[in-house]
Structure 1
Amino acid sequence: MQNILQLYNEFGIYISGGLLLLILILFIIIVASKRSIKRIDNRLKKLTRGIDNTNIEELVKSYMGKVEESVRETDEVKKMYLDIQGKVNQCIQNVSIIRYKAFDDVGSDLSFSIAMLDNNKDGVVLTSIYGRSESTTYAKPIDKGISRYDLSSEEETVLKNSINKIL
């Protein structure tokens, strides 16, 4: 015991200084730890703001449910879009018309041809030929831009004009 007291008397100032230095270092560590904890606490509050008494796991689960619901709704909207797009492609969208004189003895351009096609180049060419004593109207189906029936030059012109609107 006396050896310890003798050592303390000789090196007491150094021991006390070392302990004070150790206390100062520990104090600095405590202050830095409190600052880090405060920053983490602020981040946690920002993360869970607006939610009372809810832990993060419940919060994440509720957000995942909302994400899954959004994905489901997006898939439904995609299906509706594809259905509508298919219907729109089958609607008449490209129309071309030409008026002309079918006969030299008839005044004005009273005869006409109309091509009406969808985006698949399917549709019809309507032609009306006006004469002094009679008028005739007929239709020729168009399938993928081609008619099974012979087309007059006017009908070919309106068909080409209508097809060019698709491209």
Structure 2
Amino acid sequence: MELFNYVGIDIGYVLIGTIGFSIIMFIMLIVVLVKQNKLKKRYNAFMEGNDAKSLEKVITERFNEVDAVKEKLQVVDGRLEGIDKILLTTYKKMALIKYDAFREMGGNLSFAIALLTETNDGFIINAMHSSREGCYIYAKEIVNGQCDMILADEEKQVLEKAMSK
């Protein structure tokens, strides 16, 4: 009391402030208890589950399903890695040019075809057709987009066309 007199605060104001604070705290306690009761009811309803199944059982089943999906995903990832390796060696790029090799009447029956992998490895087949002399077929190997042999103009065109894809 002496402290309040020393500071110059009336004890009545302190008492009214304390009672007001207690009332506010009491109201807040009631609000918290009501909210807790509602939450407890919702929790109990949630834990009951459907058709007499417990929520724990449902959650356990879902975790088991997730584990099974993870295992299958690992198997699929392994298979995809193998497929990716195989795809690096498959022919993905292709180009075809038809032309008249001997400038004869009869159309563009000759052709050059290039088949290349992703790394531009593969081959060119050049089939030159002549109505008088028959058909000549040549195959040339391509490594990294280059050929050790001299390429005809049509072969160069078909190689460039295939590599640009």
TM-score range, shorter chain: 0.5 to 0.7
Query: What per-residue deviation string (whole Å, max 9, x for no partner) do you get for residues 54-85 of structure 1?
Result: 474x6554443332222111111222222223
Do the aligned partners of 2:47 and 2:55 also contact (CA within 8 Å) in 1?
no
Amino acid at match of 1:142: I
Give the alignment's Cα RMSD to 1 decimal.
3.1
Q: How many angstroms apart in 1 are the aligned matches of 2:44 and 2:163?
A: 62
Do the aligned partners of 2:121 and 2:144 also contact (CA within 8 Å) in 1?
yes
Do the aligned partners of 2:47 and 2:54 also contact (CA within 8 Å) in 1?
no
Q: How many angstroms apart in 2 are the aligned matches of 1:126 and 1:47?
A: 72
TM-score, scaled relative to structure 1: 0.66
Q: Does 1:83 align with 2:82?
A: yes
Counterpart for residue 39 of structure 2? 39
Task: Return 33-42 or 132-141, whichever deviates more.
Answer: 33-42
Distance 1:66 1:47, change over 3 A: farther
Structural mapping, 1:35-114, within 5 Å: 35-46=35-46, 49-50=49-50, 52=52, 54=54, 56=56, 60-104=59-103, 106-107=104-105, 108-114=107-113
Query: What per-residue deviation string (whole Å, max 9, x for no partner) do you get for residues 126-156 of structure 1?
Result: 0011222232112112222222222111101
Distance 1:93 1:45, change over 3 A: same
Q: How many angstroms apart in 2 are the aligned matches of 1:35 and 1:59?
A: 27
Amino acid at match of 1:49: G
Counterpart for residue 155 of structure 1? 155
Q: How many angstroms apart in 2 are the aligned matches of 1:124 and 1:118?
A: 10
Counterpart for residue 14 of structure 1? none
Q: How many angstroms apart in 1 are the aligned matches of 2:125 and 2:45?
A: 72
Q: Does 1:119 align with 2:114?
A: no
Q: Which runs of 5+ in 1 are unaligned?
A: 1-21
TM-superposed CA distance for 1:114, in Å, is: 0.6
Do the aligned partners of 2:49 and 2:55 also contact (CA within 8 Å) in 1?
no
SS of the aligned residue for 1:79 comes to helix
Percent identical among aligned pairs is 22
Amino acid at match of 1:139: A
